Amino acid sequence: MRKKFICKGLLSSTILLNAFTVCAVTAPAAEMPNLAPKDIVIKRGMSEEAAKCIECHANKTPGIIASWKQGKMGHANITCYDCHVVEKTSPMASQCSGIKGTNTYISPMVSSKTCERCHPAEVEQFLKSGHANLSGAPVVEKEKFLKLMYQHEGGGFMGNEMGSPSNRAPRASGCQICHGTQVELGPDNKPIKETWPGGVGTRYPDGSVGNCTVCHTRHQFSIAEVRKPEACASCHLGPDHPDIEIYLESKHGQIFQTRGEEWNWDAAPDTWQPGDYSAPTCAVCHMSGIGELSTTHNVNERLKWDLVHPRSELRSGVRGDGEKGDMLMRKVCANCHGTTHTDVQMQTLDNVVELYNKYYDKATDMQKALEAKGLLGKDPWQDGFQELYYFLWHHTGRRARQGAAMNGPDYAHWHGFFQMQQVYKDMVALYDWRMKNNKIEELSHVMSTAPD
Ligand code: HEC
Ligand code: HEC
Ligand code: HEC
Ligand code: HEC
Ligand code: HEC
Ligand code: HEC
Ligand code: HEC
Ligand code: HEC
């Protein structure tokens, strides 16, 4: 249980957040009634203005102060002022009730650009990764997905007014929370149309990109937290990319679940090594420094294949460098496994990718042949063949590929290849029927229920 620090020589109604004052450690709260007062007086080396933000917010938003004061940045004098104060001319400038009438302007929106002032390397790496621009792109730019969100999911097809609040609801409650969207502002420079807060690739009104709090939750911004698989699980889950499920079912996940509580999560960056933990978490393989590798915020760096798009290709261009990625990922494994073991895993993944691509290519041939004969329905979400085509790559095919990549045999097999062959055979049946009868069957045989 956490102990409370109450400082001597002060009114008993005051907790002083001062590392340089002699503090007495009192008994844990369970043994003593919680007499902790709400007032906080700051006397360490920070500006008077910065101290004011904290003193007032300790009363008005005590939950924020509670987590901020436990974080390393709270200890190092990085305050509300450092992250939230903006120039008066910023498109995001506004004032909270506590600073109305002063010359200080703030914004509740804080992007990677603010962090960049003090963490330039992390932000540079992050901006090169799929978590930045590529992540926001489907929700902001890509016609196909805008149509999915507004015309289909938002009920545009049944006459729900485009752009209306309920039409925006699927984006605001779903895609945006993981991917991020473009934040739009009203006349008071505050976000409108439920475009904020958002996911990892959020695009801010000043042109900056990226929300670091999706992993380092505010206001503690802890590295111990992001090293745990839960930090990724809020987005990397579900029928289409069940990474947390795969992980928890892998041997690595088994060890994490049985022994993780004994691990040392708090070592300094690049010093967190096998021994602090006995099996890798998501962070260990994709981000943390290990052995000769340094920490990276570019999650694409250690990847060989693209296992997310319809056809799996060696990564290149904005998606990374597949050959280099393969070499780096093998260096991760080398800390705990011999090369024979790692070679087998990587060969298996290559073979899985090859087989998956065969399914996908043959399915694509059928799709093209039907299209050439005008035998595809106009609404792809109400056309048996096209729905199955989607489930083949987006659900079952990703599960097979990612299950194999991260050693989750249940996902590689039962939720993966087993269902792929079923989906594929149903596609063949529909294809043959349409070709033979030269028409589209009248009712969808799929009824949009995804294979689970
Ligand atoms: C290290 C930078 C940092 C510090 C220090 C910091 N914040 Fe934040 N704060 C953020 C980030 C990042 C967000 C999320 C912004 C986003 O999603 O665009 C945020 C969001 C917020 C929000 C809006 C979200 C909500 O839950 O309402 C408030 C209010 C807020 N902070 C208040 C404070 C106060 C008060 C302090 C001082 C104790 C503080 N912050 C210190 C970075 C910081
Ligand atoms: C005298 C009290 C007081 C002071 C001083 C104060 N605040 Fe606030 N602040 C509030 C209250 C109350 C709210 C919630 C109501 C509102 O948004 O005005 C708030 C809201 C906020 C928000 C969220 C705004 C939003 O649009 O949701 C942020 C961010 C924030 N304050 C940061 C700061 C920073 C940074 C400072 C110091 C420069 C500061 N505050 C100083 C009382 C104060
Ligand atoms: C004004 C400078 C400054 C700004 C702005 C700043 N940081 Fe920091 N940050 C620091 C310092 C200094 C430390 C080291 C604190 C220590 O360990 O004593 C730190 C440490 C960290 C850590 C490591 C915490 C741990 O548990 O070891 C994280 C994560 C972090 N910052 C994230 C962020 C994010 C995200 C933002 C933007 C929202 C941000 N920082 C903005 C100065 C800053
Ligand atoms: C807020 C949601 C969110 C969180 C939290 C999150 N991710 Fe992601 N991640 C995404 C999205 C969205 C993408 C897709 C990016 C794109 O469009 O290419 C992605 C892509 C990736 C990729 C593939 C990159 C690419 O471009 O193909 C890896 C690897 C990855 N994430 C690892 C992680 C790890 C490891 C963690 C935890 C430490 C994590 N992610 C936390 C949302 C998230
Ligand atoms: C639960 C969080 C979550 C939600 C909700 C979500 N996604 Fe994703 N999405 C992800 C993650 C994580 C990935 C990366 C998976 C991987 O790399 O294997 C991803 C990948 C993608 C990709 C492929 C990457 C790329 O840049 O081409 C697209 C496109 C996409 N999502 C679009 C959407 C759209 C559109 C919506 C809403 C209709 C949506 N997503 C809803 C988390 C989510
Ligand atoms: C996908 C999840 C994720 C996102 C998003 C993320 N971080 Fe991190 N961050 C991590 C992990 C994991 C570590 C710990 C690496 C290790 O084990 O040392 C870390 C560590 C850090 C550290 C400690 C020093 C270091 O480099 O290891 C800082 C500072 C930091 N992050 C800043 C940021 C900033 C700034 C952003 C936004 C641009 C950001 N992080 C976004 C996962 C994330
Ligand atoms: C033992 C190391 C390891 C662990 C632990 C691990 N991964 Fe992976 N991950 C991999 C490998 C290897 C690949 C495939 C790399 C390649 O493409 O060759 C991969 C692929 C991925 C991809 C697919 C990228 C794409 O779009 O092509 C995502 C997303 C991902 N991992 C996220 C996660 C998340 C989230 C966790 C934790 C829940 C996690 N990983 C745990 C090693 C690991
Ligand atoms: C921090 C150490 C560590 C790292 C790094 C690591 N592993 Fe493991 N791995 C283990 C441990 C421990 C086991 C459990 C061995 C057992 O079942 O007795 C394991 C088990 C496995 C298994 C299950 C089969 C078996 O031998 O039991 C596979 C497959 C595997 N790892 C692949 C990988 C791959 C591929 C990488 C790199 C992408 C990797 N591991 C990285 C520690 C690690």
Cα–chain-centroid distance for residue 198? 11
- Asked whether the beta carbons of 111 and 206 are under 8 A apart, the reply is yes
CB under 6 Å to ligand 8: residues? 251-252, 255, 274, 278-280, 284-285, 329, 332-333, 335-337, 342, 345, 407
Looking at residue 452, its pLDDT comes to 77
Query: Distance (Å, rounded) from C-alpha 81 to C-alpha 50?
Result: 5
**Structure tokens belonging to residue 439:** 């028409």
Query: Distance (Å, rounded) from C-alpha 91 to C-alpha 81?
Result: 18
Q: Which among 217, 219, 223 is the best mutation to test ligand 6's pocket, defined by most ligand atoms within 8 Å of the CB?
A: 223
% of the chain beyond a pLDDT of 90: 86
Closest CA to 306 of 253, 251, 241, 252: 241
Count the Cβ atoms, other than its own, within 10 Å of residue 23: 16
CB under 6 Å to ligand 5: residues? 134, 137-139, 145, 148-149, 174-175, 178-179, 235-236, 238, 241, 307-308
Looking at residue 445, its pLDDT comes to 67
Pairing of strands 184-185, 5-7: unpaired
Q: What is the rounded (10 degree) CA torsion for 375, 380, 382, 386? A: 70
Looking at residue 101, its pLDDT comes to 94
Cβ neighbours of residue 178 under 8 Å, at least 6 residues apart?
A: 199, 200, 234, 235
Q: Is the CB of 211 under 6 A from ligand 7?
A: no
Reported residue count of the chain is 452
Query: Distance (Å, rounded) from C-alpha 105 to C-alpha 87?
Result: 6
* Separation of CA 298 and ligand 4 centre (Å): 10
- Asked whether the beta carbons of 297 and 126 are under 8 A apart, the reply is yes
Looking at residue 17, its pLDDT comes to 40
Cα–chain-centroid distance for residue 430? 37
* Separation of CA 319 and ligand 1 centre (Å): 31
Nearest CA to ligand 8 atom 20: 251
Q: Is the CB of 109 under 6 A from ligand 3?
A: no
Residues in the chain predicted with pLDDT less than 50, given as ranges, are 1-30, 36-37
Nearest CA to ligand 6 atom 29: 119
Residue 417 corresponds to which amino acid?
F
Looking at residue 449, its pLDDT comes to 72
Query: Distance (Å, rounded) from C-alpha 204 to C-alpha 93?
Result: 12
Nearest CA to ligand 2 atom 43: 98
Closest CA to 69 of 199, 222, 180: 222
* Separation of CA 84 and ligand 1 centre (Å): 7
For the chain, how many helices (H) and strands (E)? 21, 8
Query: Distance (Å, rounded) from C-alpha 75 to C-alpha 66?
Result: 12
Looking at residue 23, its pLDDT comes to 34
DSSP per position, 312-336: --B--GGG--HHHHHHHHHHHHTTT
Ligand 4 atom closest to the CA of 307, numbered from 1: 27
DSSP per position, 359-397: HHHHHHHHHHHHHHTT-S-SSGGG-HHHHHHHIIIIIII
Residues 363, 366, 370, 375: is their CA dihedral positive or negative?
A: negative
Cβ neighbours of residue 364 under 8 Å, at least 6 residues apart?
A: none
